[in-house]
Amino acid sequence: MSHHLHWGIMGTGNIARQFADGLMGARRSVLAAVASRSQDSAINFATQRSIPNAHAGYAALLADRSVEAVYLALPNALHHEWTLKALKAGKHVLCEKPLANDAAQAQEMFTAARKAKLVLAEAFMYRSHPLTKAWLAALRGGAIGKVKFIRTNFTFYVSRTEGNIRFSTALAGGALMDVGCYCINLARLVAQAEPLSIQATAVKHSSGVDELTAATLTFPEGLVATFVCGMRAQADNTAMICGDQGYLLIPVPWKPPVQKAEFTLAHSTPPRMEAGAAKGPPPRHTFQVDAPLPLYALEADEFAATVLEGAAPAVRPEDSLGNMRTLDAIRSQIGLVFGLPTQDY
């Protein structure tokens, strides 16, 4: 087998472009092909990046023998169908988050991958950045003692909702699916467990998707995680992980910068009545982490190492399945139901 993994990109939207541009800097990955519903779009995308093959229609990409792995950058509701088709065609699949509409679909996808002896992984790219590995190592090394609570948020403001995949129930949109899945993933990563109980509330957009969801997840040993995700609000989009001996602040956890990504290890200021011995601000240290490559190159190369060397995937199947189950539980509490996708590809 070659030293490089040959990728085919399915879709030419926002994240497909970011992934393709990032991949230019990869060490173990090369772009072999791209596919779009529109031939023009595929050709433009390929020409701008010197990608050898441009395909009209996703099925043509799967028939391309130069493609070993598919990067699936389609709307959420198409992940299940096209992952199964890609696996059937003998391709490994790195599928965008969330892996599927629900846990049952995700289970079917992993079963198909296992039977075909192919790699399927969910593209939570923040997991591939060395910042995430660094704060996780500090946490596991006992830097903040026993973890007590986690508070994250991930929101952004969308002005154009018309024709936006995130505002379509048929395409499995909504804030929870789009960005809430990150908050859930981080909480489960820290807890190394699945939530025992979940309480969620949401505000719906007229399209039927949740434009804001807030949830509290309670994990074993009394670890509590809260998060807010939204598509019509602005927030700091940070993560705070609090223990009995200090806390970690991660200012940009979801898409850390390539250079000078940061996290801070801090201790809280005690309330005045207990502050007898405390003079001056409590100790606080900020760590800086540089990534060796662009974020999506790291993600692609980690996936390549799984395919080419059998390395453990950055996000394992049980991890994705746990995430999907939590998403299912929250969706049932907030009454978020998906419609049937339109078949226009």
Ligand X SMILES: NC(=O)c1ccc[n+]([C@@H]2O[C@H](COP(=O)([O-])OP(=O)(O)OC[C@H]3O[C@@H](n4cnc5c(N)ncnc54)[C@H](OP(=O)(O)O)[C@@H]3O)[C@@H](O)[C@H]2O)c1
User: Considering the complex, what minimum distance in angstroms separates the CB of residue 342 from ligand X?
Assistant: 6
Sheet holding 284-289, edge to edge: 197-204, 210-219, 223-230, 147-155, 239-243, 246-250, 261-266, 284-289
Query: Which residues contact ligand X (rule: CB under 6 A)?
Result: 11-16, 36-38, 41, 73-76, 78, 96-97, 123, 125, 165, 178, 342, 344-345
User: Considering the complex, what minimum distance in angstroms separates the CB of residue 308 from ligand X?
Assistant: 22
Measured between its terminal Cα atoms, the distance across the chain in Å is 33
Residue number with the shortest CB distance to ligand X? 13
Q: Which residues partner with 69 through β-bridges?
A: 7, 92
Q: What is the largest CA-CA distance in the chain?
A: 72
User: Considering the complex, what minimum distance in angstroms separates the CB of residue 326 from ligand X?
Assistant: 16
d(CA 15, CA 250): 23
* 149 vs 345 by CB, closer to ligand X: 345
d(CA 34, CA 113): 22
The closest alpha carbon to 261, from 231, 288, 221, 294, belongs to 288
* 173 vs 246 by CB, closer to ligand X: 173
User: Considering the complex, what minimum distance in angstroms separates the CB of residue 51 from ligand X?
Assistant: 13
* 37 vs 151 by CB, closer to ligand X: 37
User: How many angstroms from the chain centroid is the CA of residue 122?
Assistant: 7
Q: Which of 85, 88, 97, 255 is catalytic?
A: 97
* 73 vs 314 by CB, closer to ligand X: 73
* 189 vs 242 by CB, closer to ligand X: 189
* 17 vs 267 by CB, closer to ligand X: 17
d(CA 257, CA 294): 9
User: Considering the complex, what minimum distance in angstroms separates the CB of residue 73 from ligand X?
Assistant: 5
**Strand, helix or coil for residue 287:** strand
In angstroms, the Cα distances linking 80 to 103, 107, 151, 327, 339 are: 11, 10, 31, 16, 14
User: Considering the complex, what minimum distance in angstroms separates the CB of residue 187 from ligand X?
Assistant: 18
Q: Which residues partner with 249 through β-bridges?
A: 240, 264
Both tokens of residue 249? 């602040």
97 is catalytic: yes
Residues taking part in catalysis: 97
